[in-house]
Amino acid sequence: MELDGIDGMPSMDVMDEEDKTLQRHCQFPSISKPRINNNDNPTTTSVHELLECPVCTNSMYPPIHQCPNGHTLCSSCKTRVDNRCPTCRQELGDIRCLALEKIAESLKLACKFSTFGCQEILPYYSKLKHESACYYRPYTCPYAGSDCPIDGNIPFLVSHLRDDHKVDMHSGCTFNHRYVKANPCEVENATWMLTVFHCFGQYFCLHFEAFQLGMAPVYMAFLRFMGDESDARNFSYSLEVGGNGRKLIWEGNPRSIRDNHKKVRDSHDGLIIQRNMALFFSGGERKELKLRITGRIWKEQNKQ
């Protein structure tokens, strides 16, 4: 299926406006933040709460410290409290709370992304490591060019991109986009555009942007997969741009949105068009950038 082209690239001014609006309107329901434990009575405190540092409320890992009166403290807070217990002001010394460390060792807890679908139950001490790489951990917003603080699962981010960033959404595995810019010589690093494609039951982000590669102004187009790295490898895509009897073709695997946009861009993992070539493709008298980029996404055979 062929899709209609999209004209025009948003100017930086428009982007700035949008970014400000976003900061005000976007809120993601909080994902299991550690509860703050202000309860001093140990009889009503669960073991789990005992393992929260009373100062920073982070989970504590060995060495867990305590003052002579038994108030606990995580190791990073200990370095910041000038050898005084933050609870009772007693001198801290170097006492480790071995009992609590042992208790922690016997604990098994659900991954904090269980609400996103992770079913792992993990020993306390390996929970953090698992969560930092958990398949179900939330993705950060793939909208480039702004420091959007939103994260969440893919369906959430798709609606966020559509509703809050007003990103164009298209269905189908082929596309045909026109990028037009009136004054192509005023290329700024931040001139870019994002379109989302929906096919094979998945979402893909097509990035198009202008930036300075060394001394040379270039345009770059690349696709990112909205999902995990391991699933991204099941897909391939091609991009084609040309004009005046010349053609550039790029073929590759989409990168996961786990890799941030800048990382993909800086590794040049996509279709790169030198500005001179881009203007040549555009025809006319180099006054206007008019690129037609066609592309296709497909699922790799003999892969799940």
| Footprint of Zn ion (CB under 5 A) | 53, 55-56, 67, 69, 71, 74, 77, 85, 87-88, 90, 111, 113, 118, 120, 134, 141, 143, 148, 150
**Closer residue to Zn ion in complex, CB, 80/299:** 80
For residue 160, the minimal CB distance to Zn ion (Å) is 5
**Closer residue to Zn ion in complex, CB, 194/271:** 194
For residue 63, the minimal CB distance to Zn ion (Å) is 12
In terms of Cα–Cα distance, which of 72, 100, 101 is closest to 86?
72
**Closer residue to Zn ion in complex, CB, 162/246:** 162
Residue at 114: amino acid letter: S
For residue 16, the minimal CB distance to Zn ion (Å) is 15
Estimate to the nearest angstrom the gap between the alpha carbon of 156 and the chain centroid: 13
3-state SS track over the chain: CCCCCCCCCCCHHHHHHHHHHHHHHCCCCCCCCCCCCCCCCHHHCCHHHHCECCCCCCECCCCCEECCCCCEECHHHHCCCCCECCCCCCECCCEECHHHHHHHHHCEEECCCHHHCCCCEEEHHHHHHHHHHCCCCCEECCCCCCCCCCEECHHHHHHHHHHCCCCEEEECCEEEEEEEECCCCCCCCCCEEEEEEEECCEEEEEEEEEEEECCEEEEEEEEEECCCHHHHCCEEEEEEEEECCEEEEEEECCEECCCCHHHHHHCCCCEEEEHHHHHHHHCCCCCCEEEEEEEEEEECCCCC
In terms of Cα–Cα distance, which of 45, 69, 73, 71 is closest to 59?
73
For residue 271, the minimal CB distance to Zn ion (Å) is 24
**Closer residue to Zn ion in complex, CB, 129/178:** 129
For residue 298, the minimal CB distance to Zn ion (Å) is 28
**Closer residue to Zn ion in complex, CB, 120/259:** 120
In terms of Cα–Cα distance, which of 146, 173, 143 is closest to 158?
143
For residue 15, the minimal CB distance to Zn ion (Å) is 12
For residue 70, the minimal CB distance to Zn ion (Å) is 7
**Closer residue to Zn ion in complex, CB, 71/261:** 71
**Closer residue to Zn ion in complex, CB, 55/223:** 55
For residue 82, the minimal CB distance to Zn ion (Å) is 14
**Closer residue to Zn ion in complex, CB, 164/288:** 164
